[in-house]
Chain A
Amino acid sequence: MANTVVESYPPTEHGADDPNRRDFIHIAAATAAVGGVAVFAWPLIDEMNPSADVLALASIEFDLSKVSLGQQVVVKWQGKPVFVRYRTPKEIAEAVKDDNAPMKDPATDASRHKPGKAQYLILVGVCTHLGCVPNFGLGDYGGWLCPCHGSVYDTAGRIRKGPAPLNLLMPNYAFTSDTKIKIG
């Protein structure tokens, strides 16, 4: 200490010469700071996820007698269109006939509706490509045609042509009576 005026900090006997102690303080402080920022950031990020009231609107009821044969009704569920389609026997037969045709996302017609309810097809009306709403009754397979980039769906809502990777999704739904369903 004789030839220095400025003492090292902290002025302990081996403070400055002991790298472990100093490093420990640095690492501990940095860890606490990063941890603190992360803990604070999470609520700010998670706040953007669906809020409680949005989640509460998760299910709706629908009366199938409102749909007439060969037609579809579009209902809004969770902000999205849901197609409720009353298929004709011909449309069902066409879909069943293609069960073994080559497809991007293979599925049988039977897996697309509830058992014994082949006439009612209930699908989320959102193209699995980039989310447009496909148009009813158009396209080579008589199912739907998406106006955005030309995806073609058949009468079971299976993707048959175009850029969409998956079949139209089926929402969770159940029959609450013979003609009523609960979606979600």
Chain B
Amino acid sequence: MSQEKQHISSYTSHFVVLITLIILTGISVAVTRVEMGPLNTLVAMIIAGAKASVVLAWFMHLKFDNKLFAIFTALVLVIFLLVLYVTFFDYSYR
């Protein structure tokens, strides 16, 4: 394991990640003022998902690591989304 090359991110990239997260947080707060009914939840989830992806890709180095990890993470997200979809399949047709 030790012979695998380490990727060291620069301060600039960390800073860009931070700014992106702050901007996205601002948007998710601002968007609550727009009345969209059930779509509000969807939008909030999409923004939160974008934030999580930024953290995973740059801050947690998924982008620079073995592709296998990215594939597994994606699969997990697919399962998570499907679970949410199936749950809301109940709520939206009650």
A complexed with B: no
Interface residues of B (CB under 8 A from A): none
Interface residues of A (CB under 8 A from B): none
